[in-house]
Structure 1
Amino acid sequence: MRTVRKLIYRAVIRQVGMVALAFSALFFFIDFVEEVRKLGKGGYTTLDAMMTCLYMQGAHFYDIFPISLLIGAIIALARLAQTSEFTILRTGGLGPERALGLLTVLGLLAAGMTVALGNWLLPWTEHQLSLHKSLFGAQQGLSLGTGGTWLREQRQAPDGRHTITVNVGSATSDKVLGDVRIFEFDSSGRLLRRVSAEAAQIEPLNAPNTGSVWHLTQVKETRWTATDRISDEAVQRGEPFVAESQLDTMAWESGLTPLVVAASVLPPDTMSAYALWHYTLHLASNAQAAQRYESEFWKKVFYPVVCLVMVALALPFAYLHARSGGMSLKIFGGIMLGISFVLANHIASHLGLLHDWQPWLAAATPSLFYLLLAMSAFAWLVRYR
């Protein structure tokens, strides 16, 4: 049994590695062609472009790994069937249950690798990519859209609970922000304070998960006095209701942790499952829409199941008869089936957002449907072919 396992695993892993390497080389070439247009801007060199493309391979590899697993497994198993090696293994005692068990173990190993890629390698490469881009000016920074990104927190004050709303217009990394605006409202929703800054450097507090210190530069602060606190004497003296001041620097303490700040500026698909879950809780506690991040969280949770689906879709190809002809067409059909699963997986998440479906249901339905389809095809081939 050990020899059979080694034969199948070696064939599948070799083909998967070759397919993944081919896809990675293709994406590296496409990214490099795109980065060549930026050469010479802000000291951006060819080596910097190559480093940028190298860091981008983390996200690409995470996306292409399941489809590489499918294509590599189909090619390996189809070749074993075409050379009659798998037929010999079947006559030697390799039953359908054992074959399914062998590939299930391989799928579980691939799922574990996907978890490591999505929760450690991908966030690390995106962090390194943002730091690398921050060296070459704002045009290389993170894209936050035309309206930037918004954060909100609640604070307890002597006169009630205050709401702090923060708008970040741009970011060169997850800890270096630009065009920062801070608005403070009282318990009645009246604006009390506005702070505008050209840039902010985020530094965590000494105690973990307790908040952060924002080191603001080129600060303009505006304070409004609530109308119910203005005395008649102050009105008679002509005291202003608005006080403005300008500072070169300001240290502003916030209850927003660096993890929450990073989650607000990073794309959701590049965040780890823990960061998505933590940020979803923050949004829900501050009455903000969290469905997009909930959908991305459940999509990342069920993403390792995709590897099991891909292996299950490839298994029936080991039971096809090569002598009946049309093997290349059958392999092409299996690859198209796997690509249709990837498309259905992406479409289901968008449909879930549009129709307000349960995020976990939208993330799990395509995987369960295609897994059932693959197992049905496998059972039919074993029984009738």
Structure 2
Amino acid sequence: MRILSRYIGRAVLVQTLMVMAVLLTIYFFITLMDELAAVGQGRYSIVMALQYALMLLPRQLYELFPMVALLGGMLGLGTLASSNELTVIRAAGVSVRRIMLAMMKMALLLMLAVALIGELAAPQLEQKAQIMRAQALNKGVSLNVRGGLWVRDGDTYINVRRLLPEGTAYDVSLYVFDKEQRLLEMIDARSAVYDKGQWVLRKVTRSRVDHAGVVSEELPRLPWRTVLSPAVISVAALPPDKLSIAELAGYVDYTRSNSLDARVYELALWTRVVAPFATAGMMLLAVPFIFGSLRSVSIGLRITVGGLLGIGFHLFNGVFGRIALVYDLSPLLSAAMPTLVVYGLWWGLMRRVQ
């Protein structure tokens, strides 16, 4: 049985890697074609565009892997079914359950590898790619909030309009309130540099508000101590789905400690935690199709069905998450629901497999 398990696993692995290569190649050229419009601006060259598209591939692999797993499982088992090898294996007394277990052993190794890529390589490479592109185009790193980035540190509200690499920010505004939410102080700085554990504001206008009115002063420099390191601000400036589990967990802690709404980041965190289970469910979903309704159909039809199911899962996952945010549903339930639907569909189809 060990030899048979390796044989089935190898068939699934080969097809999964082929699907992965095809999809990543398509996404690479789509990204590259989009970037060609920016080539020639500033110092942005065709080599940089190629590098940028390559550095985004780990992220695309992580996001596409549930669909890749489904297609790889369907094509791997489908190839064995087309050559009647599955029929021989079943005639030898091997159950569907044992075949499924052999396939899932290989799937677990693939999921572990992709999870490591998604957590360790993808976020760092994507951030470096965005910074490289921004620097080449002579632009600051754009923030993901309209009007700049807004964050809160205790009773201080901070607005950062532009953030550059290596801990430099431009157009920084601080608004300090008392416990009764009355404005005490406003600080506007042309720039801010992170140095030795604190920010140093430069070209500062500070306005203090009291019962006598508003008193303003100009300062060349002003130290600013805060828990907001460049790393925290960089995390806040990125879309939640681009962050690793560790970054998401840290930012959820930060938002909760400052009484901010953390639902978007909680949803992204639970979505990443649930992602391996979703991938396993998609791989399992291939089994009832091959042993059931798609046993004797062409490879083209298998690819079509697998692609439609994968796209449907991706769309349902995204839409349900946004609906959950609107109606204030549990982030864990919102992240897990599409995966539970996949397992429910698999269970229902497996009951019809002979």
Q: Same fold (TM over 0.5)?
A: yes
SS in 2 for 1:380: coil
Over 3 Å counting, the alpha-carbon distance change for 1:271 and 1:331 in structure 2 is closer
Q: Which amino acid aligns with 1:220?
A: V
CA distance in 2, matches of 1:222, 1:139: 28
The reply on whether 1:216 has 2:208 as its aligned counterpart is no
SS in 1 for 2:108: helix
The reply on whether 1:352 has 2:324 as its aligned counterpart is yes
Structure 2: state its 5+ residue gaps: none
The reply on whether 1:244 has 2:217 as its aligned counterpart is yes
SS in 2 for 1:12: helix
Alignment of 1:184-195 (within 5 A): 184-195=176-187
Over 3 Å counting, the alpha-carbon distance change for 1:149 and 1:138 in structure 2 is farther
Alignment of 1:1-385 (within 5 A): 1-137=1-137, 139=139, 141-154=141-154, 163-173=155-165, 175-202=167-194, 205=197, 213-217=198-202, 219-227=203-211, 241-247=214-220, 249-320=221-292, 325=297, 328-329=300-301, 331-381=303-353, 383=354
The one-character-per-residue Cα deviations of 1:176-223 (angstroms, maximum 9, x if unpaired) are 433221222223323232222333334573xxxxxxx22434x22213
User: Among the aligned pairs, what percent are the same residue?
Assistant: 28
The alpha carbon displacement at 1:333 in A equals 2.6
Over 3 Å counting, the alpha-carbon distance change for 1:138 and 1:352 in structure 2 is farther
SS in 1 for 2:181: coil
CA distance in 2, matches of 1:260, 1:367: 31
Q: Which amino acid aligns with 2:335?
A: A
Q: How many residues align?
A: 354
The one-character-per-residue Cα deviations of 1:327-347 (angstroms, maximum 9, x if unpaired) are 643553343223222221111
CA distance in 2, matches of 1:284, 1:294: 10
SS in 2 for 1:184: strand
The alpha carbon displacement at 1:242 in A equals 0.8
The one-character-per-residue Cα deviations of 1:292-317 (angstroms, maximum 9, x if unpaired) are 11111111111111111111111124
SS in 2 for 1:39: coil
Which shows bigger deviation, 188-197 or 76-85? 188-197
CA distance in 2, matches of 1:103, 1:3: 13
TM-score (norm. length: structure 1):
0.84
CA distance in 2, matches of 1:338, 1:262: 32
CA distance in 2, matches of 1:34, 1:136: 16
The one-character-per-residue Cα deviations of 1:20-73 (angstroms, maximum 9, x if unpaired) are 111111111111112111122221111111111111222211111221121122
SS in 2 for 1:195: strand
CA distance in 1, matches of 2:234, 2:266: 17
Over 3 Å counting, the alpha-carbon distance change for 1:31 and 1:338 in structure 2 is closer
CA distance in 2, matches of 1:203, 1:376: 59
CA distance in 1, matches of 2:294, 2:281: 24
CA distance in 1, matches of 2:289, 2:140: 46
The alpha carbon displacement at 1:265 in A equals 0.8
2:13/2:106 contact within 8 Å kept: no
Over 3 Å counting, the alpha-carbon distance change for 1:327 and 1:116 in structure 2 is closer
Structure 1: state its 5+ residue gaps: 155-162, 206-212, 231-239
